[in-house]
Amino acid sequence: MSLTVPEAAADASVFDAFVREHRRPLLQFLRSRTATEQDAEDVLQESLARLLRYRDRESPDAWRALLYRIAANVAHDQYRAATSRRSSEHVPLDDLPLVADEHTPEQRAAYDQQVARLSEAILSLPPKCQRVYLLKRAHGLSRDQIAARCGISVKMVEKHIATAMALLRRKVGDSFADTF
């Protein structure tokens, strides 16, 4: 059965009056079921939008019960969604400065130059110092392991490392020599 234009307009005005009458009590009902005032407003709007689907299929006498059932379900769905996403643990990023993971081209060029200078400095070390230094810094061997591998004493390993560090600091600077 389809409604004529005057009947549809009458139904719309009846529905509008129903919404005006029940809006405030429904909002009060939702405040106790949602975390914030904004959540209650959101659930209210969603509930009224869903009730529109039933406006023509249900009698106005059934609207109130239906509206409260819809609102309770929407509030529950909202709570479940917030819990599953742990939205209460979210941290807003609006006020946090964002740090770029990539270096600027100038920073990258400066780093590459430092690495080139350090490589050149390592290659200019005396052969025994160079070998001991690389076994320690590049391969991560202990002093005992280096001594065994090179056939020298641990004291001599320490001397070669100290010599290598002093020469590298002189050629490259403190900060980069300690990196490698």
Q: Name residue 127's amino acid.
A: P
Taking the C-alpha atoms of residue 4 and residue 18, their distance in angstroms, rounded to an integer, is 21
What is the Cα Rg of the chain in Å?
37
Task: Give φ, ψ of 56 to 5 degrees.
Answer: -90, -15
Task: Give φ, ψ of 64 to 5 degrees.
Answer: -60, -50
Taking the C-alpha atoms of residue 40 and residue 93, their distance in angstroms, rounded to an integer, is 25
Q: What is the pLDDT of residues 20-56, one digit of tens each?
A: 999 999 999 999 888 889 999 999 999 999 999 988 8
- On the question of pLDDT at 177 being above 90, the answer is no
Which domains can be identified in the chain, with CATH numbers?
5-88 (1.10.1740.10), 115-177 (1.10.10.10)
Per cent of the chain over pLDDT 90 is 47
